[in-house]
A and B are shown apart, each in its own frame.
Chain A
Amino acid sequence: MNALRRLWYRYSPQLIIGELLEKRWMEPIVPFTLMLLVFAAFIVTIPSYASIVQLQQLMRSFPEQAFVAMAMALSILSGGIDLSVGAVFAMADFLTLYFLQVQDWPLPLTIVAVLAWGALIGAVNGGLIAYAKTRPFLTTMVVLIILRAAYNKITGVYAAELAGASVDSAAWDFLGAGFVFGIPINMVCLIVIGAIAHLYLTRIRSGVHIMAVGSSRKAARHAGINVQRSLFLAYVLAGMLSALAGLLYAARQNSAGTDTGVGWEVNALAAAVLGGISLAGGRGTISRALMGAAIIFLLINGLVQLGTHGSLTSAAIGAILLAAVAFNVKFVKNKGKILQKIYVSPSLVEFSPPASIERGGGTVFAENDRLKDSEAIALDKIEGPEDIILDRSDNLYTVNRNGSIIRFLAPNYEKREEFARIGGRPLGMAIDRDESIIVCVAGMGVYGVRQDRTIFKVTDETNRTWYRFKDDSRLWLADDLDIAADGKIYFSDATTRYDLSEWALDGFEGRGNGRLVCYDPATKTTRTVLANLAFPNGVCISHDGQAVLWVSTWLCRIYRYWIAGPQTGKLEIIADNLPGYPDNINRASDGNYWLALVGLRSPVYDIAMADPSFRTRMVKQIPPDEWLCPGINFGCVVKFDDNGEVLESLWDPGGVSHPTITSMREHKGYLYIGGLENNRIGRVPLPGADKSWTGWDSYWGDKTKKGAASAVAHARADHVVSA
């Protein structure tokens, strides 16, 4: 039962929904769902609705309305509206028949002439709106009225000719009734032109300008966009799309009735709104307009097929559209809120009570004052030294929260200089054989800085998890790293669901969102070694070079992952149920390892972690600032050996000098202490420690135990290590 619970919370559907909602293509989810629902409903109610012939019929009938909706969408996206689309469409319909049947023009000329007609009306609209600064609504409405009147007059005059005429042209018939691979020709046109229009609005400069103008005319102008030209272009394109619709309609219907195109502008407008295109402009896509148009089309078509009385059809469609639009507007407006409410998806983490930290409690974790009188280095000269490292000349490097690496020069560390500015949020560091600083940068990846201060990128992506909606190929929160003897860089990508500023939320969730990644300089490839880890944090190559030691912060565990020797590929827990949340690990001079406990476990929080539904309700009912979270205000430093046995602990009670201890580094008999949110680096002497020991020598010096070159790391993405 509990296993089932654990499974449920690990693969919570909420997780998928949350990541889905985050996707930009989820914005039109309401119209999309409605479209599918409408379609499904008619499949159920109308016999053989989904038959090939019927589908072909639907595809044949739909495109003209879709083009007109596209034209309307284009004008709305540009920040205006084009009410003349229906009239332009009708006129184009008539003109096509007139040119072709009365004037006997060849088809290509007719097509060019009709498109030119659309462009002309578009130019009139666009010219007035863009250059004469008239109001789009009124301008296009006047154009609508004029065109409509002209259309009625002209069709009346040519009624006789048109009623009797017909044209005998294979090309014309193909345009009206042809198929390409079983798809009606006009649908093919729609697909092709729809794709082009989508690309145009999202990828091509002038199209993007139209969107920009629609979003904010002022900002667009300030950005140097020719606003007038963009607007003009939008209306010309809208006109041409409408004209194209008219052309195809003429080919298919061969008829220019008085009701042709009447009210189509309203349907197109409804389609745009239904698709979720903001009437304020700039927000929406072509595909959304098409979805809206498809819904309206399917509804009308389906209801008529059901034999519904005409007026009932109209009323039903009106009601459905109204409801859908209202819901969609609400959804678009509140999507962010929904996401906020469901994105955090707590999982089940069960702890047993940890070892006591009680002062004088007799455990190795017992609170003491060994860090209380630490010497402060760089007090108030540094913001958030998450990690520190010292080079062979005793200079001290640390990371700053503004994205730079700061160096304090030996021997007294008074002189501060910005060693390199990388950007992002640099976190864990290591020094490689060439004495370059290799650093994990949250939000960017893994970077390096050579001693000549040049910056280079090591890696910024790994292989993507195929089954996740969220694109996790980018490194999200590279946290700590270490370098194996063969130069392979092992680093932790702590979570792929939260940014560094929200890392406590990842703890609140407690799910295996992180991974251990390896960069191989020989092949210059990056592969995920272990996936689904609960906030993998500190990473350290063991003294013998045969294993990677890493910690899972939220599970309070230390793991060992063998990268060389007979046990290669084996993963084991060497310490469990620590009383605090482990952070960086680094080598100690005596062959053991230092480990920072960034925070201490709180019994109340442990109970909360064992009750995901409680946490879920918490997320829904109270604001994030009030949520319980791992206590990371107070911590300590511990030392452990290769068996995971904790040997001693160093405390700064109350976290007065060292709140949020995230790292420590031993160097020549001193222990240097850094903290993610601290304003200083601390230093305490280590009595009895080897006064000549340096980290670099331990990795790259002559005394280094040469372990066997590590074997190829097996990808172990299947190995799930989380709660």
Chain B
Amino acid sequence: MSNNTNSILSFMRAGVAGVALTIAASAFAPAQAADPRADLYAKFEKAVKGKTVAWVPVWVGVLEGEWTRVMKAHFDDYGIKMVMRDPNLKSDVQLQAVSTLINEKPDILIVQNPTTTLLARELKRAMESGIKVIQVNMASNQLTDAYVGADVPKLGRSIANEVIKACGGGKGSGKIAILQGEATAAYSFDMTKAAMEVFSKDPSIKVVSSQPTNWDANKAAEVTTNVLQQNPDLCGIMSVWGPQTAGAAQVVKNAGKQGQVKIFVASDGQPADCDMLEQGLFYKNLSYRADTQGEAIVNAVLTLLQDPRPAGSTQLAYYTTNYWVSSKADRQYCFTVPKE
């Protein structure tokens, strides 16, 4: 864990230094054109300024809003134009939006895939037509120029190991319920798959349920209610996203099984997740920070813009580092939504 902390800190330091350098460079640029540092900035500006980035999330929730805010702030600074389309959780609308954007030929297309297949064909078409594509957090079957987001299988494994620590080996009944997100979304699919591999190695763990909840707290609540009825001695719930898990947590609380049923969640650092944890509704939260993730997206964009090779040449990955949030002391790993 300390390892993780170190790496993120160093990453941040590098980021700050980078920004400082940029500012310094911009201050000198007009005066001395021959200055190599000024040259660097000129090259940078030439590569990024006036470029267009198109961004299509699944919808604009808290997480996506945070990404958008961070991206916007940076892009404004660099003179990059950003266009966003909000399909509001409608996959067919999202497909339309992406298709249309491809026709509009932005320089970079950033998508968050609702499923592994939905956008695959269009992403390929985008790269063929010269648009560099970045996928965020939820990947497609189609690999593109860059991926920014959680290392989902790793996420699944870490959380599964934590579950085993809490419920395995005779601690509790060993009965586990898994709340998937969207069954065909990469985030949920890969995480569940990785977790199951871990669980299968421990015979004391018994997965009694593994169902998709479509990112919906109500659906999660329904599923949890059913599971609790059938398995009153449930030990743990492993879930993939804070907001949907909140539904399950309420059910557990109302059933008076808070404490008995431990809820493990992998989430995106929304403030509400930390709140839930502090209230004891979540047992452990494997979190990453959307704001830093947003900066990672920005970095990917900068990289691809400055890379002269055509679309489809690279397959870069910017994996996010995760932090365990298990008490109030870990509040720092939840971002705060700035008041507008």
A residues with CB within 8 A of B: 48, 51, 53-54, 57, 60-61, 64-65, 152, 155-156, 159-160, 162-164, 166, 176-177, 249, 252-260, 300-301, 304-305, 307-311, 313-314
Q: Are B118 and A311 in contact (CB under 8 A)?
A: no
A-B contact pairs, 9 of them (CB 8 A): A57-B103, A61-B99, A159-B183, A163-B184, A253-B95, A254-B117, A255-B184, A259-B91, A259-B214
Q: Are B86 and A307 in contact (CB under 8 A)?
A: yes
Q: B211 to chain A: which residues have CB within 8 Å?
A: 156
Q: Are B96 and A61 in contact (CB under 8 A)?
A: yes
Q: For the side of the interface on B, what is the size category?
A: 35 or more
Give the residue of A51, A156, A255, A300 whose beta carbon is less than 8 angstroms from that of B93.
Answer: A300
Q: Are A163 and B116 in contact (CB under 8 A)?
A: yes
Q: Are A164 and B97 in contact (CB under 8 A)?
A: no
Q: Are B183 and A260 in contact (CB under 8 A)?
A: no
Q: B184 to chain A: which residues have CB within 8 Å?
A: 155, 159, 162-163, 255-258
Q: Are A164 and B83 in contact (CB under 8 A)?
A: no
Q: Are A155 and B59 in contact (CB under 8 A)?
A: no
CA distance A177 to B102 in the complex (A): 15
- With both beta carbons as reference points, the residue of chain A lying nearest to B88 in the complex is identified as A310
Q: B120 to chain A: which residues have CB within 8 Å?
A: 166, 254
Q: Are B85 and A258 in contact (CB under 8 A)?
A: no
Q: A159-B189, A162-B117, A304-B85 are in contact. Are A57 and B90 (CB under 8 A)?
A: no
CA distance A51 to B121 in the complex (A): 22
| B115 close to chain A: CB less than 8 A | yes
Q: Are A304 and B121 in contact (CB under 8 A)?
A: no
Q: A156-B183, A166-B141 are in contact. Are A48 and B121 (CB under 8 A)?
A: no
Q: A163-B117, A176-B121, A314-B88 are in contact. Are A305 and B97 (CB under 8 A)?
A: yes
| B340 close to chain A: CB less than 8 A | no
CA distance A301 to B88 in the complex (A): 12
CA distance A48 to B189 in the complex (A): 38
Q: Are B86 and A163 in contact (CB under 8 A)?
A: no
Q: Are A163 and B115 in contact (CB under 8 A)?
A: yes
Closest 7 CB pairs of A and B: A310-B88, A159-B183, A255-B117, A310-B86, A255-B118, A163-B116, A53-B103
Q: B59 to chain A: which residues have CB within 8 Å?
A: 310
Q: A54 to chain B: which residues have CB within 8 Å?
A: 100, 103
Q: A48-B104, A301-B96 are in contact. Are A307 and B84 (CB under 8 A)?
A: yes
B104 to chain A, nearest CB (A): 7
Q: Are B88 and A253 in contact (CB under 8 A)?
A: no
Q: Are B88 and A254 in contact (CB under 8 A)?
A: no
- With both beta carbons as reference points, the residue of chain B lying nearest to A262 in the complex is identified as B90
- With both beta carbons as reference points, the residue of chain B lying nearest to A156 in the complex is identified as B183
Q: B141 to chain A: which residues have CB within 8 Å?
A: 163-164, 166
B30 to chain A, nearest CB (A): 33
The binding surface of chain A is classed by DSSP as: helix
Q: A57 to chain B: which residues have CB within 8 Å?
A: 96, 99-100, 103
- With both beta carbons as reference points, the residue of chain A lying nearest to B118 in the complex is identified as A255
Most chain A CB atoms below 10 A, which of B91, B115, B116, B180: B115
CA distance A156 to B85 in the complex (A): 28
Q: B115 to chain A: which residues have CB within 8 Å?
A: 163, 255, 257
- With both beta carbons as reference points, the residue of chain B lying nearest to A313 in the complex is identified as B88
- With both beta carbons as reference points, the residue of chain B lying nearest to A157 in the complex is identified as B183
| B12 close to chain A: CB less than 8 A | no
- With both beta carbons as reference points, the residue of chain A lying nearest to B116 in the complex is identified as A163
Q: B92 to chain A: which residues have CB within 8 Å?
A: 61, 64-65, 249, 253, 260
Q: Are A309 and B60 in contact (CB under 8 A)?
A: yes
Q: Are B117 and A259 in contact (CB under 8 A)?
A: no
Q: A53 to chain B: which residues have CB within 8 Å?
A: 103
10 more CB-based (< 8 A) A-B contacts, given A253-B118, A257-B182, A304-B93 = A61-B92, A160-B189, A160-B193, A162-B184, A252-B95, A254-B117, A301-B93, A304-B86, A304-B87, A304-B97
Q: A166 to chain B: which residues have CB within 8 Å?
A: 117, 120, 141
Q: A163 to chain B: which residues have CB within 8 Å?
A: 115-117, 141, 184, 186, 189
Q: A61 to chain B: which residues have CB within 8 Å?
A: 92, 95-96, 99
CA distance A54 to B102 in the complex (A): 10
| B114 close to chain A: CB less than 8 A | yes
Give the residue of B90, B103, B121, B180 whose beta carbon is less than 8 angstroms from that of A177.
Answer: B121
B200 to chain A, nearest CB (A): 15
Most chain B CB atoms below 10 A, which of A61, A159, A162, A313: A159
- With both beta carbons as reference points, the residue of chain B lying nearest to A259 in the complex is identified as B91
Q: Are A156 and B212 in contact (CB under 8 A)?
A: yes
| B89 close to chain A: CB less than 8 A | yes
Q: Which B62-120 residues sit within 8 Å CB-CB of chain A? A: 83-93, 95-97, 99-100, 103-104, 114-118, 120
Q: A162 to chain B: which residues have CB within 8 Å?
A: 117, 184
Q: A259 to chain B: which residues have CB within 8 Å?
A: 89-91, 114, 214
A294 to chain B, nearest CB (A): 14
Give the residue of A65, A258, A313 whose beta carbon is less than 8 angstroms from that of B183.
Answer: A258
- With both beta carbons as reference points, the residue of chain B lying nearest to A155 in the complex is identified as B183
B197 to chain A, nearest CB (A): 13
Q: Are B96 and A304 in contact (CB under 8 A)?
A: yes
Q: A314 to chain B: which residues have CB within 8 Å?
A: 88
Q: A152 to chain B: which residues have CB within 8 Å?
A: 212
A635 to chain B, nearest CB (A): 71
Most chain A CB atoms below 10 A, which of B83, B90, B104: B90
Most chain A CB atoms below 10 A, which of B85, B88, B95, B141: B88
Q: B91 to chain A: which residues have CB within 8 Å?
A: 253, 255, 257, 259-260
A296 to chain B, nearest CB (A): 11
- With both beta carbons as reference points, the residue of chain A lying nearest to B59 in the complex is identified as A310
Q: B84 to chain A: which residues have CB within 8 Å?
A: 307
CA distance A160 to B99 in the complex (A): 26
Q: A301 to chain B: which residues have CB within 8 Å?
A: 93, 96, 100
Q: Are B85 and A305 in contact (CB under 8 A)?
A: yes
Q: A152-B212, A257-B91 are in contact. Are A307 and B83 (CB under 8 A)?
A: yes
Q: Are B86 and A254 in contact (CB under 8 A)?
A: no
B141 to chain A, nearest CB (A): 7
CA distance A155 to B95 in the complex (A): 19
Q: A304-B85, A311-B88, A314-B88 are in contact. Are A258 and B95 (CB under 8 A)?
A: no
Q: A60 to chain B: which residues have CB within 8 Å?
A: 99
- With both beta carbons as reference points, the residue of chain A lying nearest to B84 in the complex is identified as A307
CA distance A247 to B216 in the complex (A): 27
